[in-house]
Amino acid sequence: MLLTPHCRSPASPWPDGNSLGALPRSAPARVQEVVEREWGEHLIGGWRKDGWMTYPERLGNKIAKLIGAGAGEVIAVDTISINLFKLIAAALALKPTRRTVLTDTGNFPTDVYMADGLIQLLGCRHRLRLVEEDEIEAAIDDDTAVVMLTHVNYRSGRVYDMAEITRIAQMKGALVIWDLAHSAGAVPVDLTRAGADFAVGCGYKYLNGGPGSPAFVYVALRHHDRTSQPLTGWLGHADPFAFDLAYRPAAGILHYKCSTPSILAMAPLECGVDIMLEAGIKRLRAKSMVLGDLFIQLMDARLDGQGFRPACPRRAEARGSQVSFHHQDGYAIMQALIERGVVGDFRAPDILRFGLTPAYVRHVDIWDAVEILKEIMDSRAYDRAEFKERASVT
């Protein structure tokens, strides 16, 4: 099954989805329109005329459809890290008698850093507890205020059972924050059915929003009027243009806004989200599972004995839209692959990660990628000094 290649980049045969999705074909014209017509001609009038001020909630409502959230439960603002800070603070305030933020040792570092930083800011009255992934359920106890997890692990691609963990956490009196960085636009997510409390996600990966694209934040409707977040910027005020010095939170999700929205960055994100909505997450998921299975089968068949070990689940249902492999020379091998046009990511200490963005990765690309990898291994083409020198961005 090949979906319309809306996103295919002319420069690279295999643009990656994990760390930066490809450029949507519609994005350059849309950005040009925003720059030349909306900004160039309307100037400040764009805030009303072009709907800039309500862009976060309008785009949020589109993203909501991709993650099973309701209208008014999502806004596109800030970054994952900043949104996590808001959510952890809001969640801790809802559980004043509990002291623990629980996460797993495989979580993305920024999630851990943000929780740690907030705990320090709050005077170290709380503690951050890290346990192994398979120990999470048992570790939730009557001191757990917040369980904070990344739904699809950024290294292994392992998918948590969102509904089950949410159910157990809530049964034990805790709240759950889900990081959907590797889920939104990649795997089906149903926050409403899972009874989720809070979530964050980013725009630049599988939503193809471009470098530095805004993130999004989800707060379940039932928490809207009972939570507050500490980044009380003027645009989260009930009436920002009253310029009142006393802060009054806006209603609903809107008080999770803080500052002026990045209009130029929101335009390409909307293009990416529109493509995902048109393609449909079920079709995307079906294709991505087949692509992942094919990749693993070809690795078994063509690269057996070359030192690769799967770092992702073999079962497609347990895996996000990526495959990953350990290899002791993983960094150099990934650099050699990138030079040959197979764009993946290296994740320390030894993981090669391939985002299977089904909107534009074809079955033939998987065959080509594995054949190129085989050539690199057979010829030891990765064994060059320039491939071993670590860049600051991997």
Ligand X SMILES: Cc1ncc(COP(=O)(O)O)c(C=O)c1O
275 binds ligand X (CB under 6 A): no
Q: What's the one-letter identity of residue 288?
A: S
50 close to 38: Cβ distance less than 8 angstroms: yes
Shortest distance, CB of residue 324 to ligand X, whole angstroms? 13
Shortest distance, CB of residue 103 to ligand X, whole angstroms? 11
Closer Cβ to ligand X, 6 or 158, answer by number: 158
Among 9, 26, 79, 170, binds ligand X (CB under 6 A): 79
218 binds ligand X (CB under 6 A): no
81 binds ligand X (CB under 6 A): yes
Q: Pick out residues in 103-132 that bind ligand X (CB under 6 A).
A: 108, 110-111
Which of the stretches 175-183, 227-235, 342-350, 363-371 binds ligand X when contact is defined by CB under 6 A? 175-183
Closer Cβ to ligand X, 201 or 313, answer by number: 201
Query: CB atoms < 10 A from the CB of 90, how many?
Result: 23
Shortest distance, CB of residue 18 to ligand X, whole angstroms? 8
20 binds ligand X (CB under 6 A): no
16 binds ligand X (CB under 6 A): no
Among 215, 266, 276, 359, binds ligand X (CB under 6 A): 215
266 binds ligand X (CB under 6 A): no
Residue 192, judged by CB atoms within 10 A of its CB (0-12, 13-18, 19+), counts as middle
Closer Cβ to ligand X, 166 or 322, answer by number: 322
Closer Cβ to ligand X, 150 or 229, answer by number: 150
Closer Cβ to ligand X, 13 or 320, answer by number: 320
Q: Pick out residues in 302-321 that bind ligand X (CB under 6 A).
A: none
**Please, which residues have CB within 8 angstroms of residue 46's CB and are 6 or more apart in sequence?**
38, 39, 52, 263
63 binds ligand X (CB under 6 A): no
Q: Pick out residues in 188-207 that bind ligand X (CB under 6 A).
A: 202
Q: Could you tell me which residues are beta bridge partners of residue 271? A: none
Among 61, 150, 156, 183, binds ligand X (CB under 6 A): 150
Active site residues: 108, 179, 204-205, 353
Distance, C-alpha 309 to centroid of its chain: 25
208 binds ligand X (CB under 6 A): no
Measure the CA–CA gap between 119 and 91, rounded to whole angstroms. 12
Residue at token pair 């079920």: 282
Closest CA to 276 of 212, 323, 216: 216
Binding stretches for ligand X (CB under 6 A): 79-81, 108, 110-111, 150, 154, 179, 181-182, 202, 215
